Amino acid sequence: MNNIHKLYKQLYKTYGSQGWWPIMGYGYHKNDYSFPRDKNEIFEVCLGSILTQNTTFTSVVKSLQNLQNIGCLSVDTIEAMNEDKLKRAIKPSGYFNQKARYILEFIKFYKSLDGGIPTREELLEVKGIGEETADSILLYGYNRLEFKVDAYTKRVFTHFALVDEKAKYSDIKYLVQDSLKECIKDETELLHTYQEFHALIVEHSKRYYSKKPYGRGCFIKL
DNA sequence: AGCCAGGCTACCG
DNA sequence: CGGTAGCATGGC
Please write the tens of the pLDDT for every residue from A101-127: 999 999 999 999 999 999 999 999 999
Q: Which of A125, A141, A157 is the last residue of a domain?
A: A141
- Per the domain annotation, does A44 fall within a domain? yes
Cis peptide before A118 (omega within 30 of 0): no
pLDDT at A217 over 90: yes
C1' (B5) to CA (A11) span, angstroms: 22
Nucleotide nearest to A97 (CA to C1'): C7
The amino acid at A16: G
Q: Would you say A58 and A82 are in contact if contact means Cβ atoms under 8 Å apart?
A: no
Whether residues A124 and A152 fall in one domain: no
A216 touches strand C (CB under 7 A): no
Q: Would you say A134 and A123 are in contact if contact means Cβ atoms under 8 Å apart?
A: yes
| CATH, residue A119 | 1.10.340.30
- Per the domain annotation, does A151 fall within a domain? yes
Q: What is the pLDDT of residue A110?
A: 98
pTM score: 0.97
Q: Would you say A102 and A127 are in contact if contact means Cβ atoms under 8 Å apart?
A: yes
Name residues whose C-beta falls within 8 Å of residue A133's C-beta, 6 or more positions apart in sequence.
Answer: A49, A50, A53, A123
Q: Which of A97, A118, A141 is the last residue of a domain?
A: A141
Q: Would you say A125 and A113 are in contact if contact means Cβ atoms under 8 Å apart?
A: no
Question: How many domains does chain A contain in total?
Answer: 2
C1' (B6) to CA (A152) span, angstroms: 8
Nucleotide nearest to A148 (CA to C1'): B6
Supply the range of the domain harboring residue A64: 39-141
- Per the domain annotation, does A222 fall within a domain? no
- Per the domain annotation, does A8 fall within a domain? yes
